[in-house]
Structure 1
Amino acid sequence: MSDPVRVQLLGEIGSAETITALRGLRDQVHNRMEALLPTLSVEQFYDQLNEVHDALIRRVIALAEADMARMGKGSPPVPYAYLLFGSGGRQEQTLSSDQDSGIVYGNPDSEDDKAKVETYFKELASTIVASLQETGYPPCDGNVISSNPQWCMSITDWEKQLDHWFDEADWEFVRYLLIVADGRLVYGDRELARKLKNAFYSDTLAKPLIVRRMLENTMRHKMLLGVFGQLLKEQYGEEAGSIDIKYGAYIPMVNAIRLMAIQAGLRETSTLERISELKNRDMLAAEDASVYAETFRIFLKLRLITIEHTEDGMFTNNGKLAGSRLTKEMKDELKLALKTGQKLQRRVYKQTMGKLG
């Protein structure tokens, strides 16, 4: 059953007329979702929370379009799609979330229109990014954001850029390609988003070197479990004794399942949906899929109890969990989940290397 308070907040988000109002609603949503955390399953919580994140982002974009019109910049000159990457693309955002985003827009009618169209979307993207910051979403540390021209361009230029990334074995380009795999439409033209994904999947499996580099990237983060089955904790500084749930559990599993999904040509972006579809296509046995899904739910649950805080008015989270917050039962559950994650990583490595020959 939907929470009536959250439903009311969603309605108010959809009709908010200012960024200040949206920020106030974001704070209310944050408090409400924290209160609901003990009462919902992991999947229910993430579904409801990400629905709110999407609603906030869509309203910010709509207000940015209206601001552009009020400033005499007009309406969007061509259709466009606003995409979320990272945890937003995977619909796995926690209470805190940064901005991983991009814009793909339709091709200008003529070369003369190109500069005008580029200028419009450059200004629109900057307005959106600034407004989202005011709403509590910090920009992506890696500059994967719609206000970066590299992530805001026409569909033809996007296709050329993807071709360039596929033609190079550069580590950073491969990282970008993996980011694109998680891209999800949050606002705008669905067909443009589909074309971008088509361009991505048309080349992926035809480039064995790129797949090899994707595998190397996928294996970069290891499960935080020692050779004797002990949890590997932070050794130094203020966070000594904490466990890096984000990069030592959650991200390694996201990466492993994503690479399996890419090789299968799946368009799903959430990790649990990818596991389900891999099972539906007989690429994962039902038992394995069930174990992986349950393991991932454990990682999702633990991410929700990592420390959330505000910094310069924006919600942030480093993904680390104080060891003191883990009961013996939680530690045992985490260790078992990490062992499953290690087996999954070995499986993905073996399968991918087998395909590459």
Structure 2
Amino acid sequence: MSYEDIKKWREQHIHEQIDHEQLNNFHDDLMLKTVQLAMEKFEEEQGEVPAPFAFFLMGSAGRKEQSVWSDQDHGIVFDGSSQHQDYFQKLGEEIVDGLEKVGYERCDGKVMASESRWTKPIDEWKQQVIDWLDEETWQSLRHFSTFIDSRFFLGEAKLLDDVKQVAFSYIQSYPEIMNRLIDNVGFIQKGVGVFGQLLPQQSGKRTGQINIKTTAMFPFVNALRLLVLCNQIMKAPTVERFTALTAKYSFLTEYQILFESLLAFKFQFTKNAVEYEEVHYIPLKKLSKKDKQELKEYMKKGGELFERTKNTIEKECSKW
């Protein structure tokens, strides 16, 4: 099997996926085949993997929220000395190259295993997580949030769990960091105007289209990330985070139903997108009156959930 074979398989079958969950399972199969092929190719050329490692996904892949098109967000943690850095980073380059050939765009922000920031020995990973939280800048906390949405994909799962545990321990020792993490994602792009109208892009290529990711999905995603940090839960997919937390926070049940409905809504209106950038936008002219009301409800409830999450964290997690 070659990257070209996997690409053809993708092209033949991706539009056969009937819902959001099936599509994301298809992406997992596709990426797993690609990463395994990249590893086989690399080991033939460079020798066997020199240390135990975990390859993990981040971003929409980490959260199982991919659309028909997706870019790459991934990293590697390995249990060995820094002398193995070159091997794993070059392995990361092969994985990036393979995924790109199959149809996954490179990440503009370089959140990929080919970059030293996202591929490190476990001790350096633990220190980096602490440094990000210590630094408390907008960018360092953004990197931290990206990492916390990581999902183990291949190798030794415990390595990734051990790094996340360092983050949980830090937050328990310095709970006030939760307020900074709230501020870091606190800006919610307005999707509805003062007269109750949807607010699409006003200029450029996406004029007349609304960004469903930033206006509707992000408030749910950010709220659940904050709650799992507060409750030391390892899971990355937002739906799994809801399920893990509803026993403690019964108010989440209503929002989980809404979020799963939002995923279905997004799937319906983006499943025929022809390029990556298109999957985040929906032209308003495609929406019926009922669709528009539904979209406004997702935006309203997402904002409401984020506020309830803030209040919960202020009561429970930022004053341990």
Structure-2-length-normalised TM-score? 0.93
* C-alpha separation in 1, matches of 2:277 and 2:203: 21
Of the three residues 211, 214, 238, the one matched with 1:247 is 214
Give the 3-state SS of the residue equivalent to 1:293 in structure 2: helix
Partner of 1:5 in structure 2? none
Bigger relative contact order (CA 8 A; separation at least 6): 2
Partner of 2:43 in structure 1? 69
Partner of 1:332 in structure 2? 293
Between structure 1 and structure 2, the one with the greater Rg is 1
- Shift, 1:146, TM fit: 0.6
Matched, 1:23 2:7: yes
The one-letter code sitting in structure 1 at the alignment partner of 2:292 is K
The one-letter code sitting in structure 1 at the alignment partner of 2:4 is T
- Shift, 1:21, TM fit: 0.5
- Shift, 1:57, TM fit: 1.7
* C-alpha separation in 2, matches of 1:63 and 1:292: 39
- Shift, 1:354, TM fit: 4.0
Give the 3-state SS of the residue equivalent to 2:153 in structure 1: strand
Partner of 2:235 in structure 1? 268
* C-alpha separation in 2, matches of 1:316 and 1:340: 25
- Identity over the aligned pairs, expressed in percent? 31
Partner of 1:344 in structure 2? 305
Partner of 2:262 in structure 1? 299
Q: 1:340 to 1:31 in 2, by over 3 A?
A: closer
Paired residues of 2:14 and 2:26 also in contact (CA < 8 A): no
Give the 3-state SS of the residue equivalent to 2:246 in structure 1: helix
* C-alpha separation in 2, matches of 1:209 and 1:145: 30
Q: 1:67 to 1:238 in 2, by over 3 A?
A: closer
Paired residues of 2:54 and 2:76 also in contact (CA < 8 A): yes
Partner of 1:7 in structure 2? none
Paired residues of 1:49 and 1:95 also in contact (CA < 8 A): yes
CA RMSD of aligned residues (A): 1.8
- Shift, 1:223, TM fit: 4.7
Partner of 1:55 in structure 2? 29
Matched, 1:205 2:166: no
Farther-moved stretch of structure 1 (97-106 vs 341-350): 341-350
* C-alpha separation in 1, matches of 2:186 and 2:149: 17
Partner of 2:90 in structure 1? 123
Paired residues of 1:222 and 1:252 also in contact (CA < 8 A): no
Matched, 1:186 2:159: no
Give the 3-state SS of the residue equivalent to 2:262 in structure 1: helix
Farther-moved stretch of structure 1 (174-183 vs 195-204): 195-204
Q: Deviations over 1:42-93 (max 9, x none)?
A: xxx233222221222222222122212322x101001111100011111111
Paired residues of 1:183 and 1:269 also in contact (CA < 8 A): yes
Paired residues of 2:217 and 2:302 also in contact (CA < 8 A): no
The one-letter code sitting in structure 1 at the alignment partner of 2:62 is G
Give the 3-state SS of the residue equivalent to 2:117 in structure 1: helix
Partner of 1:147 in structure 2? 114
* C-alpha separation in 1, matches of 2:277 and 2:202: 22
Q: 1:317 to 1:237 in 2, by over 3 A?
A: closer
* C-alpha separation in 1, matches of 2:163 and 2:176: 21
Partner of 2:75 in structure 1? 102
- Shift, 1:101, TM fit: 0.3
- Shift, 1:209, TM fit: 4.3
- Count of residues in Structure 1 that have an aligned counterpart in Structure 2: 316
The one-letter code sitting in structure 2 at the alignment partner of 1:169 is E
Farther-moved stretch of structure 1 (55-64 vs 95-104): 55-64
Consecutive unaligned residues of structure 2, counting only runs of 5 or more, are none
Paired residues of 2:69 and 2:279 also in contact (CA < 8 A): no
- Shift, 1:291, TM fit: 1.8
- Shift, 1:196, TM fit: 1.7
Give the 3-state SS of the residue equivalent to 1:200 in structure 2: helix
